[in-house]
Amino acid sequence: MPSPLRMTPPAERPWRTGVIVVAALAVFAIAVATLYPGWYSFDTSWQLWQARTGRFSNLQPPGMAFAWSILLAAGLPPGSLLVAHLGALALGTALFGLAIRRPHGMALPLVLLWPPFLVLFGHLWIDVSLAAALTLATGWIAWTRSTGRPAWGWYAALPLAYAVGVRHNAVLALPPLLYLLVAETPRAPKGAPARLAIAVAISVAAFGAWSGVSKRLVTIPSPVLNVLAIWDLSAVSVASGELLLPAGVHGPGLTVDELRPLVNTDTVMTVLNGTRSGINPGIETPLPDDVEKELRRRWIQLPFTHPVAWLRHRYGIAQWLFGPQGGPRGKSAFIIPTIIAREGNPVIVANDTPANAWLLATVRAWRDGIACMPFAYLLLAAAASGLAMRRGFSGDRGMVHALAIGCWLMALPLAVLAPAAEWRYSLWPMLSAVLALMLALDRGESLP
């Protein structure tokens, strides 16, 4: 039975579909011309090396590197991953456009050319792979709901599962979306709690499945939680005057005074690489089991043993994560428009077009402003939910709420669990907030 979300499906107007397809293709072409072959930071070069060699690390989830290895095995150049990302983003926004009845839906793919988004798309980062997968998945779900084909929405499970495989916190964005799919499944439980429980269970299962896949793929274990623990423990050590890092993690002679100039709320790398005594997070040389357990035990207890110092440290990180991106913070926490070579990787020639130069200059000029402030986008998500709640709203209220809730669910834990205060972590929350707002501005009236 057709979904009641739309009285007249937008797809009934072929001319409108044509406009959206042309807009998406134009955006895709402009983005590729502006960005190809992309930027290769240290993280990206490391992922490319893994894709080339088949030796995967779990310092970052191996999903993107594995997908990249398939593209390379097919004889495609490294920049093919950038093209795949941009293609998924263009297709996803086109589907959103088709799901929106009001005229602004025809221009929705243009959202991808917003400079703060476009400059991040140029980086071959797992955060971009995540955003591309979730844009495709949510666009597909929105379109199936708008055209009365809710059963087709389950095909979105493929990009949703991929999203979890490239960045594990994507699992937090899944339950609101899966709730919509479960709710429209025949014989689904009628109660909201039961539907939500099923959605959460599927999300947990996806996370568990990828954990199993990672164990099979990974040959270079890299415990990222150790890095996070060292950052928090070092910051609290400086604040309290008590060295909290356990013996075995650091070399002999390490003191709080040695840590003091190295601790900041921008990155842990200054701590890992800057001490004379040396700190071992267990990446290159695994930590003994008892030392690693003690490290994590002390880290987990920080909110209880040193609550004020821990909160101050994490509040400082949250300010960098969600506030203005300028000021004295390091450039690597914003964008890294460079190409770093790694032994064995192919030579990458940078894009030196005027469009590329203009994009970089524009975003750097906007760095201190609201356009690059993640918290402003979180407020847009809240505003979108508010608009969808108004009386008489006949757009897709459920989809608006799913995007807005998922935006906040992914963003808020970063304040506690982010291993660095990097702008790229907020890419999907920022993009999903804009998509939610576009849907919230759709009242469902017919086009002239």
Task: Mark whether 50 and 142 lie in a shared domain.
Answer: yes
If asked whether residues 253 and 129 sit together in one domain, one would say: no
Q: Is residue 241 domain-resident?
A: yes
Same domain, 268 and 186: no
**Does residue 438 belong to any structural domain of this protein?**
no
| pLDDT score, position 22 | 95
Q: Are 161 and 235 in the same domain?
A: no
41 within a domain of the structure (yes/no):
yes
Which pLDDT score, from 0 to 100, does residue 53 have? 94
Quick one: 113 and 213 in the same domain?
yes
Instruction: Answer yes or no: do 256 and 139 share one domain.
Output: no
Query: Are 246 and 211 found together in one domain?
Result: no
Query: Does any domain span residue 396?
Result: no
The 10 Å CB-count burial string (b at 16+, else e) for 153-187 is bbebbebbbbbbbbbbbbbbbbbbbbbbbbbbeee
Tens digits of pLDDT across the chain (448 residues) = 334 444 445 445 778 889 999 999 999 999 999 999 999 999 999 999 999 999 998 888 899 999 999 999 999 999 999 999 999 999 999 999 999 988 888 999 999 999 999 999 999 999 999 999 999 999 999 999 999 888 899 999 999 999 999 998 999 999 999 999 999 888 888 889 999 999 999 999 999 999 898 888 888 887 889 999 999 999 999 999 999 999 999 999 899 999 999 998 888 889 988 999 899 988 878 899 999 999 999 999 999 999 999 999 999 999 999 999 987 766 678 999 999 999 999 999 999 999 999 999 999 999 999 999 999 999 999 999 999 998 888 889 999 999 999 999 999 999 999 888 999 999 999 999 999 999 999 865 433 3
Residues 281 and 363 in one domain: no
Q: Which residues pair with 220 in a beta bridge?
A: 57
**pLDDT score of 3:** 42
Q: Are residues 126 and 237 in the same domain?
A: no
Residues 233 and 288 in one domain: yes
Instruction: In whole angstroms, give the CA distance from residue 73 to residue 67.
Output: 10
- Residue 94, domain extent: 10-220+344-371
Q: Which residues face 250 on adjacent strands?
A: 247, 279
Classify residue 19: in a domain, yes or no.
yes
How high is the pLDDT of residue 286? 86
Count of domains in the chain?
2
Q: How far apart are CA 100 and CA 96, in angstroms?
A: 6
Are 93 and 112 within 8 A, CB to CB? Answer: yes
Residue 129 and residue 34 share a domain: yes
Domain C-terminal end among 260, 287, 322: 322
Taking each helix axis from N to C terminus, what angle separates 14-35 and 354-366, rounded to the nearest 10 degrees? Answer: 90
Q: Report yes or no on 393 lying in a domain.
A: no
Residue 186 belongs to some domain of the structure: yes
Tell whether 170 is covered by a domain: yes
Q: Residue 448 has what pLDDT?
A: 33
Together in a domain, 46 and 160: yes
